[in-house]
Structure 1
Amino acid sequence: MALSREEVAARYGAALFGYAQDNKVLDNVYDEMLELKKAVLANPQIISVLSDPILSSKDKKSVLTAVEKGFSEEVQGFLNLLLEYNRFADLVDIIDQFVAFYDDEKKIASGTATTAVKLDDDQLQRLGDSFAKKYNLNAVRLENKVDPSILGGVVLQVKDRVIDGSVKTKLNKIRAQIIDNN
């Protein structure tokens, strides 16, 4: 039975995480994986070429040699493993799984701060630091989403936790209380 894309990503992501952790190069491999993901998303033809069943292994290897220049031997070995087992089509999902394992290990969370107006980097950082302190995390990386319909305040969503401090929600609660009292 063939493995699903999620199973492949989970297995390979866990394997890379364990390998990097055992070799005490976890932070370095993490940084390199993020750079690789950026490069692959900017140039998706890299994955197309390296997962093309028609292209010979020798040609794929020469392309991979050019791609992996500058990466650590751990990352190079991992990329060669993916090539050998024809798993390059799953590379972005594997990187995402690896990052999830890394974030769990380092107690880092990612989330979205929805606001009526755009927040600057300092405001996002302070909001993330405040959330991290409250929920015993080392860091929270926030992405800002602008939604003028919330009128003001912030709706913060990190993992499965949502903190709704929007003006719209507060007004709706007041409205509901007034209706209940009548």
Structure 2
Amino acid sequence: MAMVQRMRSSLPLFQKMLASDSVSSRSTLLNPNFIINVERSYATSAPAKKDKIKVPFAMFGGSGNYASALYLSAAKADALDKVESELFDLVEATKKSPMFSQFTKDLSVPAGVRIKAIDDICTQAKFTDITKNFLVIMAEYGRLRHVDGIAKRFAELTMAHRGELKAIVTTVIPLPPSEEKELKETLQEILGQGKKVKLEQKIDPSILGGLVVEFGQKVFDMSIKTRAKQMERFLREPVNL
């Protein structure tokens, strides 16, 4: 309870951090050629006429580009939730099967073999054409090893689409249910009613105590480890008499 109360006392600072500029205003770096490849089989799935769909915010890097391209295709077909679920089903399969996990990472496997295997797996799992076509392209270009990262980035986009925001709270020991509830309410108060907070707890004894809250591009660090480092720097500074 004390940690959450200290966080409430720091609300003005927290809100000031939130108000600072973020990368969301930067233009997207999507690869047009890749988007064309991803969408080449989707023309019949999307409505004939629909307002132009955009990603909720710009993503960068390979996984971000792929996730954004897949988001555009899934959104046009009104299948965001289904595609997200199927991606994580595949990721879960790689975690449960070391052999399948190795297959997705082994670039020595011929592209044709990779494509046939993924096509069969998706068909048996009854994945949507959007997910299957996307994974086939990943197999063709030897990118299956990046599916886990792509799925996580895709989930960030779908959460933004639903008005949700994932907050990761790191502590030394798990927060009691009452403190977790109060922390979630505090974050909701900070972010306003336009966002729905989804709280994820992480345990890290190295922070020594306190808590670290991460969401979006923001980090609010109230850990004892960070405070100790700040105090150490302060003590090392020369004293002017």
Check whether TM > 0.5: yes
Is residue 144 from structure 1 mapped to residue 202 from structure 2 by the alignment? yes
Q: Which runs of 5+ in 2 are unaligned?
A: 1-30, 32-59, 235-241
Match of 1:156 among 213, 220, 237: 213
Aligned length, in residue pairs: 165
Match of 1:27 among 56, 76, 81: 81
Distance of 2:127 and 2:181 partners within structure 1 = 30
Partner of 2:128: 72
Identity %: 16
With the length of structure 2 as denominator, give the TM-score of the two structures. 0.55
1:161–1:60 distance in 2 versus 1, CA, 3 Å: closer
Partner of 2:56: none
Distance of 1:126 and 1:32 partners within structure 2 = 33
The answer on whether the counterparts of 2:214 and 2:220 sit within 8 Å (CA) in structure 1 is yes
Offset of 1:91 from its aligned partner? 1.6
Tell me the SS of whatever aligns to 2:108. Answer: coil
TM alignment of 1:21-170, pairs within 5 A: 21-43=75-97, 45-68=99-122, 69-120=125-176, 123-136=179-192, 137-145=195-203, 147=205, 149-150=208-209, 154-159=211-216, 160-162=218-220, 164=222
Partner of 2:46: none
Q: Which runs of 5+ in 1 are unaligned?
A: 177-182
Amino acid of the structure 1 residue aligned with 2:199: R
Is residue 18 from structure 1 mapped to residue 75 from structure 2 by the alignment? no
The answer on whether the counterparts of 2:171 and 2:211 sit within 8 Å (CA) in structure 1 is yes
Distance of 2:63 and 2:172 partners within structure 1 = 36
Amino acid of the structure 1 residue aligned with 2:196: N
Partner of 2:55: none
With the length of structure 1 as denominator, give the TM-score of the two structures. 0.69
Is residue 7 from structure 1 mapped to residue 65 from structure 2 by the alignment? no
After the TM superposition, list the runs of 4 or more consecutive aligned residues in structure 1 that deviate by more than 4 angstroms. Answer: 120-123
1:114–1:63 distance in 2 versus 1, CA, 3 Å: same
* Range 97-106 or range 37-46, more displaced: 37-46
